[in-house]
Amino acid sequence: MSEQARKAAAVVAEAAPGFRPRVGLTLGSGLGALAERVENAIVVDFRDLPGFPEPSVEGHHGRLVLGRLGGQDVACLQGRVHLYEGHPAQAVVPLVRTLKLLGCETYFATNAAGALDRDAEPGQLMLITDHINMQFANPLVGPNDESFGPRFPPMDGAYDAEHQALLRRVADDLGVTLREGVYLATLGPSFESHAEVRAFARLGANAVGMSTVPEVIVARHCGLRVAAISVLTNLAAGLSDMVLSHEQTLQYGHAAADDLRRLVLGFLEGLPSASA
């Protein structure tokens, strides 16, 4: 997995010589439009990157977009690995480690999720402050590559406190409602049963989705600072009359895309000029 990341980073270095992104972003379902705002974009197809899978879900493109966004050099993963596609959790490793090898200091994940809080409204954004891994898989299982991080990485403060503070400030300035809470990841691809939704809420989760947690584990292992935002595309199953579907996820993802775009741009613009 590390070897694939090294090869992928070499491919990127050839496509974009000397380019050193500071922030790596993953743009989730229906949220890929942000990549179209990247200036002086250099695009590398996932197919050309060793270890990068060809995503199969509608709304996921499978491209790495390098360039300038919000005054920062960034690398946008337009598409991600979902375990429900049949990939092992380890398949996430090359993507995140490639960002690390390219020079990223921060990993910024966005995703679509179902809200577990009854007062949430579809289209609202949620700052992820912690997670619960209910995928029963961990991307770091297997031999550890010490050059990236330790065998037993802590998950304390996985979601960077300074990044959280900046996102709260930016949302406040923009007048964008930013909920916050714990993101719980399931394997998917089925949506949750009503009993699962009740159970997850009691476990302390505020949103449920099918991604991001393995990426965050790999990112923290190799010392990337993490920021993550969920677009709450729906109330979780049984909390409203809506019947859940991927189309609905994409529809509300698009509806919230503008708020998310402004929030991410404000975050990038607000990052202190030198790393802390």
112 part of the interface to ligand HPA, by CB under 6 A: yes
Check if 234 is active-site.
yes
79 part of the interface to ligand HPA, by CB under 6 A:
no
Question: Does the active-site annotation cover 87?
Answer: no
* Residue 85 among the catalytic residues: yes
HEC states along the chain?
CHHHHHHHHHHHHHHCCCCCCCEEEEECCCCHHHHHHCEEEEEEEHHHCCCCCCCCCCCCCCEEEEEEECCEEEEEEECCCCHHHCCCHHHHHHHHHHHHHHCCCEEEEEEEEEECCCCCCCCEEEEEEEEEEECCCCCCCCCCCCCCCCCCCCCCCCECHHHHHHHHHHHHHHCCCEEEEEEEEECCCCCCCHHHHHHHHHHCCCEEECCCHHHHHHHHHCCCEEEEEEEEEEECCCCCCCCCCHHHHHHHHHHHHHHHHHHHHHHHHHCCCCCC
Q: In this chain, which of 113, 184, 250, 264 binds ligand HPA, going by CB under 6 A?
A: 113
From the CB of 253, what's the least distance to ligand HPA, in Å? 8
Catalytic residue list contains 138 = no
The reply to whether 110 sits near ligand HPA by the rule CB under 6 A is no
- Residue number of the CB closest to ligand HPA reads 114
Among 30, 70, 139, 209, binds ligand HPA (CB under 6 A): 209
Stretch in the footprint of ligand HPA (CB under 6 A) among 8-16, 64-72, 81-89, 207-215: 207-215
Contact segment (CB under 6 A) with ligand HPA among 8-16, 76-84, 122-130, 231-239 equals: 231-239
Enumerate the active-site residues. Answer: 29, 60, 82, 84-85, 112, 210-211, 234, 246
